[in-house]
Amino acid sequence: MTRALIIVDVQNDFCEGGSLAVDGGADLASLLSDFIDEQGGEFDHIVATQDWHIDPGAHFSQTPDFLHSWPVHCVADSKGSRFHPDLDTENVGAVFRKGQFEAAYSGFEGVLAPEDEVPTGEQKLGALAEGSTEDPVTLDDWLREREVDEVAVVGLATDFCVKATALDAVAAGYTTSVLVRYTRGVHPDGVETTLEELEEAGVELVE
């Protein structure tokens, strides 16, 4: 089995002090860094996703319902869109940006960031170098090219982008797990329902 760890949206705006903070987000960034340091060798690849919004339409709202609409967050090239500084990205091999012009909860809706940019550095919009005529590389493209057949999903938030990424992974045929300890949810009351939905879809829940 070729395994990949998918780190979902551990970004400044989703951690304490950000515009759409998830309770425990900053702590999770540190926990993930420790986890990668101790157990990262169990994975053949480590990748990460970023919300990367330009004009996502009704996804942004001045009167958000926190289910389908949200305060402005993770605007492309902003401080809020960058990875939280407590997340060690040294071993992240690829970053996939999603939601430029739509909501895009799943990492499988993202496209590959330029390869010559480090995850925490200044990042350009898009998946390819300026002037390139190649098609954007999706997360699914990248994983299949490396013959990945098993993925583990961690990050923010359990009941939205982690859930969507895991559901898309299992639907695409990957053996999929969610490492529950390394996720945090937006709505605590909804996390249990989310975990039940994931398990019913064939996602393994690892406590």
Catalytic option among 74, 98, 159, 163: 98
Q: Look up 74 and say whether it is catalytic.
A: no
Catalytic option among 9, 88, 159, 168: 9
Q: Look up 124 and say whether it is catalytic.
A: no
Q: Encode 133-152: b = buried (16+ Cβ within 10 Å), e = exposed.
A: eeeebbbbebbeeeebebbb
* Parallel, antiparallel or unpaired: strands 45-51 and 94-98: parallel
Catalytic option among 140, 161, 163, 168: 161
For residue 36, give the H/E element and its range: helix 25-39
Distance CA 152, CA 48 (A): 12
Distance CA 49, CA 168 (A): 14
Which CA distances in Å does 83 have to 96, 97, 150? 12, 12, 24
Distance CA 129, CA 172 (A): 28
Q: Look up 79 and say whether it is catalytic.
A: no
Residue 167 burial class via C-beta count within 10 angstroms: exposed 0-12, middle 13-18, buried 19 and up: buried
Q: Which residues are catalytic?
A: 9, 98, 161
